[in-house]
Amino acid sequence: MSLRDSVATTRRRVHRAPLQLFNISLLWLSVNFWWAGVLGLLLPLFVERLVGGEWKGTYLFYIGATGAALSSIIQLVIGPISDRTASPFGRRTPYVFIGVVLSLPAIYLFFHAPLVLRSFGWLLFAYCWVQVWMNVSNGPYQAFIPDLVPEDRQGLASAFMGMMLLIGQAGGFLGYMLLSEKLFVLCWVIIAMLGVSVLYTTISVREPASAASTLPPLEWSRILLVPLRPYPSFVWLMVSRFFINMGFYTALPFLLYYLQDALGSSDPGGDFAKLALLFTGGALLGNWPSGWLADRVSKKAIVYFTCAMMAASAIAFVLDQTLTGAFVIGFAFGLSYGAFVAVDWAFACNLVPKEQEGRYMAVWHLAFTVPQVLAPWVGPVADWFNRTYPDMPGIGWRVAFSIIPIYLAIGAWAVRHVKERKPVSV
């Protein structure tokens, strides 16, 4: 049986068995359990512990930008390699498994560096190590849906991925709330979750064996140069997603500092976790209706609506003066963000070039990782405002967050140039 026939058989099985959508998406829960706690809570806390309060925004920018830059390069390299991989376990599964397993020692070191070694250098090294191997896994993993899921079920599959992302985020925040005084226990919980879920994924997804690829050999000197001109809608989708994620990653790394400095929280870690849980609850409510609609109505219309709602919530958040108000706004923002997440993956799967899903899903993921590099540029700016105007507590974070609605407006404008492709039933 040819690879194309094997994939078609797998797609028909996925069409008949929603359990396969669960199997494909489960790993995403554990991955986001790790990343939500790291980007939102642990990394800001560890950086502040190691460098002090006056320069925390600047050093958080350094470590976040370095890690995200590595992530982008690794995905661009591993995606086209996986497209051409011949293996009895499939094109993607070997990289998914190996990448997660080799990231586990780095996760242990990530906790060890600030708590035992008390070294920013070791923290940076561990964070970059995790980024490298996690993205060896994430690049090929993202191609599972366009590879294995029928086009007319990719909206539902995207909703599964969105659900796992949101539950993983909520779990990461809740884990911090319960184990904030026992961080090494949290470390082992994360390692166990990732190890078990990648083993389950490897066994349950049953990716068809792959034969030698018919794609042309890779030109290693040009591996980072991906042809985009033939796919203008895909490019515009990337531009849209880039600016929407610029808004999200302008907020997430500095939200803990905002609660602490601008709203005067006496327990910023606990209040962040509460806000994150409310946000995630709203996002889960918005996620499933949007995923169902994504297979039936224009995905562009959903993106327009969610960007408008997120922008309104962001403006309200900048003007807010109370923790109670922040919690209410966070829930409202979550509703619209959850709806966006559900349609986001389906939109990319709808437009990704056929036969090169690994390479182009990796390129699409740049619109997720590059904002992590660029968005924290507001950290040094916020530090300057906070130092210059000490009588206005947290003014720097309010200035930083005021940029978010602008990013969202550009993201909504860019998606208007995208031409959707009608899904094909299997």
pLDDT tens track of the chain, all 426 residues?
Answer: 445 555 545 554 554 456 788 888 899 999 989 987 787 778 888 888 888 877 887 888 888 888 878 888 888 888 888 888 878 888 889 999 999 999 999 999 999 988 888 889 999 999 999 999 999 998 888 888 888 877 777 777 877 887 888 888 888 878 877 887 888 999 999 999 999 999 999 999 888 877 666 666 766 666 667 777 778 888 898 899 899 989 988 887 788 889 999 998 988 878 888 888 888 888 888 877 776 776 677 778 888 999 999 999 999 989 988 999 999 999 999 899 888 877 877 777 777 777 677 778 778 878 887 887 788 788 888 989 999 998 998 899 999 999 999 999 999 999 888 887 665 544
Q: How many residues are recorded in the chain? A: 426
Distance from C-alpha of 374 to C-alpha of 215, rounded to nearest angstrom: 34
**Contact call for residues 82 and 139 (beta carbons, < 8 A):** yes
Instruction: Write out the two tokens for 69.
Output: 């830059």
pTM of the model: 0.72
Neighbours of 390 (CB within 10 A): 8
**Contact call for residues 78 and 136 (beta carbons, < 8 A):** yes
Q: 422: exposed, middle or buried (C-beta count within 10 Å: 0-12, 13-18, 19+)?
A: exposed
* Residue 222: per-residue pLDDT: 65
Residue with tokens 């090929």: 140
Query: Cα–Cα–Cα angle for 149, 155, 160, nearest 5°?
Result: 80
**Contact call for residues 200 and 26 (beta carbons, < 8 A):** yes
> Measuring CA to CA, how many Å separate 72 from each of 40, 341, 409?
20, 20, 25
Distance from C-alpha of 380 to C-alpha of 154, rounded to nearest angstrom: 40
Q: What is the CB-side half-sphere exposure of residue 249 using CA atoms within 13 A? A: 24
Residue with tokens 């990704």: 352
* Residue 223: per-residue pLDDT: 66
